Structure 1
C-alpha cells in the first residue's frame, strides 16, 4: 500500500521535474539548486494531491446532507485561502525546511553519539514483516500525540490565543481544517515531525500517514449531518463527534472531543461527548469579531496580538 503510493508520487514528480522544472532551471542558470527543487516539487505535488482527495471525498457529503445552509460564502473563501497557503504556499516551505533541518540534526546527533535510538520496529520486530499493522500502530501513536497537542492548545492561554482563530468559524466546512495561525501551524509541524522521528516512521510511510490524517481532519470538520453509529462513533472520529468540539459552549478549557482519528483518547482521559443527535452552532462567542469575519491578514494580526497579551498576562487577552 505505502510502496504503491510512494511509487505513484515519485513517478509524477519525476515527470514534472524532467519536462517542466528542470528545463526552466537550466534556462535560468539555477541548476545548482536542482536537488532541492526536486524535493520541493514532490512536496508541492503532495499538497495538490491531498487537496484533491479531500475535495472529492468531502464536497459530495456536504451537498448530500448539510447540517446548516451556507449563509456566509466570504468566510468559506477565507478558509479556502488558508488551505491553499497551508498546503501549497509558504507554510509548506517553512515546514519542509524545518522538518528537513530537524531530521538532519537528529541523524547527525545519533551518528556522533553512536547510540541507536529504539523505534517501534526495533521494539516490535514482527512489524517489519507486516507493514499494514506497522502503519496502523504509527497512526495510533501519532494520533495520541495529536490529542495532547490539541489539549495543550486549549489549556495554555498563549496557545489558545492562536488556536481560537480555528474555533471562531461560524460557517464550518471541510475547508475549516486549515484555518490556523501561521505560528500554530509551525508548532504543529514540529510536534508531529518530532514524534514521527522519535518512533522511526519510515520515509515511505510518512506521506501516506499525513494524507490519512489530513483527510480524517477535513472530514471531521465537514458541514454534513453524519455520525458513525453507536459503535463506530467510539472507533473513529466523525463529523458529528468533532462538531461538538467546535460548538459555542465548547471553547478554551471547556472543550470536549479533542481526538483527530480515534475517540478512545477522549474516553480514556474523560473528555468525550458521545451524544449522537447533537449538531450545535459553531464559533467562539468570547473571541473578537475579527477572528470570525476578518480576512487572513487581519486574523493573523489579531491572533498575534492576543498571544502577546496572554504572555504578558493582560486580562481579556
Structure 2
C-alpha cells in the first residue's frame, strides 16, 4: 500500500512539475530551487490526499448519527481554514523545512561521529525480515510519544495556553483536529519527526504513518455518536472516548483520555474514562471568548499573548 501511494504521488508530482511548475520557474529564473520545488509539490499532494481520505471516512458518519445538531457553521468554517492552512499552506512549508534540516543535521552528525543510532532494526535485527511487525512497532512507539506530548500540553501552563485553542471549540467536528496554534503544530511536527528519526522509520513509510495518525485523530473528533463497545473502547480510541476529553469539565489539568490511537496508555497511567454513554458538551469554559468565536488571526494572537503571560507568571485570560 505504501509503495502504491508513493508511486502515484511521484507520477502526479512529475507531471505537475514538468508541465506547470518547471516552465514557470524557468521564466522567473528560479531553476536553482527546482529540486526543492519537486519535494514541495509532493508534500502538498500528500496533504490533499489526506484531506480527501479523512473527508470520505468522517463526513458520512457525521451525517448518519451526529451527537448534536450544527448550530454554528461559522466556527466550523474556521476549523476548515485551520485544516487547509495546516495541511496545504504555510505550516507544511515550515514543518517541511524544519524536519528536512533536522534530518540533514542528524545524518551529518551520525556520519561524522561514527555513532550508530539505536534504531529498532539495530536493537532487534530480526525486524529487517519482518517489515509488517516493524511497521506495527513504529505505530505503537509513535503513539506512545503522542500520548505524552498530549499530556504535556495540558500540564505546562505555557503549552496549555496554546493548546486551549483546540479545546475552545464548542461545535466539534472532524475538522477540529487541525484547530491548533501554529507554534503548537510546529512543536508537534518536530516531536513526531524526531521520534521517527530516532527509531529509524524508513522515509517511504513515514507518509503512511502520518496518514494513519491524521485519520485516527480526525475520526476521534467527529460529531458522531459512536462508541466501539466495552472491548473496542479499550483497543482503539473512538469518537466517544475522545469527546470525553473535550468535555467542558475536562479542560487543562483536569483532562482524561489523552491517547491518540491506543487507549491502553490512559489505562496504564490512570487517565482513562471508559464510560460509554457519556457525550458531553465541548469547550473550555475558563478560556477567553475569542478562542471560541474569533477568527484564525485573532485566535493565534490571543494564544500567543496567553503563552507569553504564562511564561511571565501572570494569571488570567
Q: TM-score, normalised by structure 2?
A: 0.98
Matches within 5 A, 1:1-317: 1-317=1-317
Query: In the TM superposition, what whole-angstrom CA distance separates every residue of 1:70-120 from its partner, at most 9, and x where no partner exists?
Result: 000000000000000000000000000000000000001111101111211
For structure 1, list consecutive stretches of 5 or more residues without a partner in the other structure.
Answer: none
The number of aligned residues is 317
Deviation of 1:264 after TM superposition, in Å, equals 0.5
Distance 1:114 1:307 in 2: 40
* Distance in 1 (alpha carbons) for counterparts of 2:266 and 2:45: 34
CA distance in 2, matches of 1:26, 1:294: 42
* Cα shift readout 1:175-196 (whole Å, capped 9, x = no counterpart): 0000000110111011111101
In 2, Cα distance between equivalents of 1:156 and 1:97: 27
> Unaligned 5+ residue runs, structure 2?
none
Task: State the alpha-carbon separation in 1 of the partners of residues 236 and 205 from structure 2.
Answer: 21
CA distance in 1, matches of 2:156, 2:81: 27
Aligned mates of 1:305, 1:118 — CA distance in 2: 40
SS in 2 for 1:171: coil
Moved more, 2-11 or 216-225: 2-11
Between 1:10-19 and 1:244-253, the stretch displaced more is 10-19
- Segments ≥4 residues shifted beyond 6 Å: none
Structure 1 residue 204: Cα displacement: 0.4
CA distance in structure 2 between the aligned counterparts of 1:137 and 1:6, rounded to whole angstroms: 21
1:108-150 deviation digits (Å, cap 9, x = unpaired): 1111101111211121222222222111110100000000000
1:28 Cα offset (Å): 2.0
2:301 match: secondary structure? helix
| Cα RMSD (Å) | 0.8
The CA distance in 2 between the partners of 1:135 and 1:17, in whole Å, is 31
Deviation at 1:27, TM superposition (A): 2.3
Query: What is the deviation of 1:24?
Result: 1.8
Question: 2:8 and 2:121 mapped to 1: Cα distance?
Answer: 25
TM-score by length of 1: 0.98
**Offset of 1:229 from its aligned partner?**
1.0
* Residue aligned with 1:276, SS: coil
